[in-house]
Amino acid sequence: MRKVRWGVISTAGIAQTQVIPAILRSDNAEIFGIASRGEQAKKVAEAFSIPHYYDSYEKLLMNPEIEAVYIPLPNHLHKQWAMEAAKYGKHVLVEKPAALTVEETEEMTAFCRKRNVKFMEAFMYQFHPQHQRVKEIISSGEIGETKFMRAGFSFYMENRDDNIRMKKEMGGGSIYDVGCYGIHAIRNILGSEPVTVETFAELDPQTGIDVSSIVYMKLENGVNCVVDCSFEMAFRHDYEIVGTKGKITVPAAYRPDVVGHRGVIHIESDQGNRSEMLEGDQYKLQIEHFSKAIIDNLEPAYSAENILQNMRVIEACYKSIEKRRTVELV
């Protein structure tokens, strides 16, 4: 089987703990190079038996054998290095959020399209099979007409002084970091876009970033939704959909990998209560999906327009915080 040769720009923790191991587990991908701006690339290359390592991102991009790159750099650097990778003809998987603004995201996606390279934002959670099953249950009518969805993602952040999530100029903030999952999940599961957004945030007095936020959204289909996210609460990553006849709860929505890749769906309805379990290696599935798009010259299922729309909602959230009012999405 043909395997896509991947390079990784940065030795970020998510690359070492999740994505590089996922590439190694994948059937149609192989890790071919890694780059950092110090000595770290050599150490990581040795740890994972990566054949090539570089002390600059540019040197990795100049290797003609590398076909795709994964970019887990700080948020404010995504646009720069995604476009630089595209200049060298590399397909781009960039960590979420894809960028910091709609304008940046539009520029990235248009540039990649012009250079004829694939581009995708790394919302890995969507590749776990539990979410497709949730959509099927909703479509079956088992919980009746959907009236409400709530999505939450939080963790308690230790050692904040050196954490890039606390640096506004680098794209810090709870909405950019974890709230984006809830926004994406609501749009993904319900298949409808927000028309209004109102956000209430607790801002850190030193940095100005949102350490906790609650987002209220009204969708085009009339469903009311809430996203909550925080750096100041215990780890949780769930969503709940409430209908006229029952509800669906997904307790390990975004990181089922921390519980053995198992996704559990709890259904309570007029027909009784039950739970379903589905297993899936979401990081591996993401790599394999993007690699298949490259091999077969297909567009990734997570399209550029979908990526842009998620950023439009994120941008509206921050505008709502700034203006202290409801924001309409046209």
Q: Is residue 59 part of a domain?
A: yes
Phi, psi of 148 (to 5 degrees): -160, 145
- Kindly state whether residues 53 and 192 are assigned to the same domain: no
CA–CA distances in Å: residue 80 to residues 73, 233, 237: 10, 33, 30
Q: What is the pLDDT of residues 64-118, one digit of tens each?
A: 999 999 999 999 999 999 999 999 999 999 999 999 999 999 999 999 999 999 9
DSSP 149: E
Region 219-234: mean pLDDT is 98
CA–CA distances in Å: residue 106 to residues 18, 100, 124: 28, 11, 21
Q: Is residue 289 part of a domain?
A: no
- Identify which of 242, 235, 241, 275 has the alpha carbon closest to the alpha carbon of residue 259: 235
Q: Give how many domains the chain has, as a whole number.
A: 2
Q: Please report the pLDDT score of residue 161 as a whole number.
A: 87
Flag whether pLDDT at 153 surpasses 90.
yes
Q: Please report the pLDDT score of residue 136 as a whole number.
A: 98
Contacts of 17 (CB under 8 A, 6+ apart): none
- Kindly state whether residues 69 and 154 are assigned to the same domain: no
Q: Please report the pLDDT score of residue 162 as a whole number.
A: 86
Distance of alpha carbon 127 from alpha carbon 125, whole angstroms? 5
Flag whether pLDDT at 330 surpasses 80.
no
Q: What is the pLDDT of residues 3-22, one digit of tens each?
A: 999 999 999 999 999 999 99
Q: What is the pLDDT of residues 17-33, one digit of tens each?
A: 999 999 999 999 999 99
pTM for the whole structure: 0.96
Q: Please report the pLDDT score of residue 37 as a whole number.
A: 84
Across all residues in the chain, what is the average pLDDT? 97
Final residue of a structural domain among 64, 93, 122: 122
Q: Is residue 305 part of a domain?
A: no
- Kindly state whether residues 144 and 224 are assigned to the same domain: yes
Cβ count within 10 A of residue 216: 16
Region 245-252: mean pLDDT is 98
- Kindly state whether residues 188 and 316 are assigned to the same domain: yes
Strands 232-243 and 68-71: unpaired
DSSP 281: -
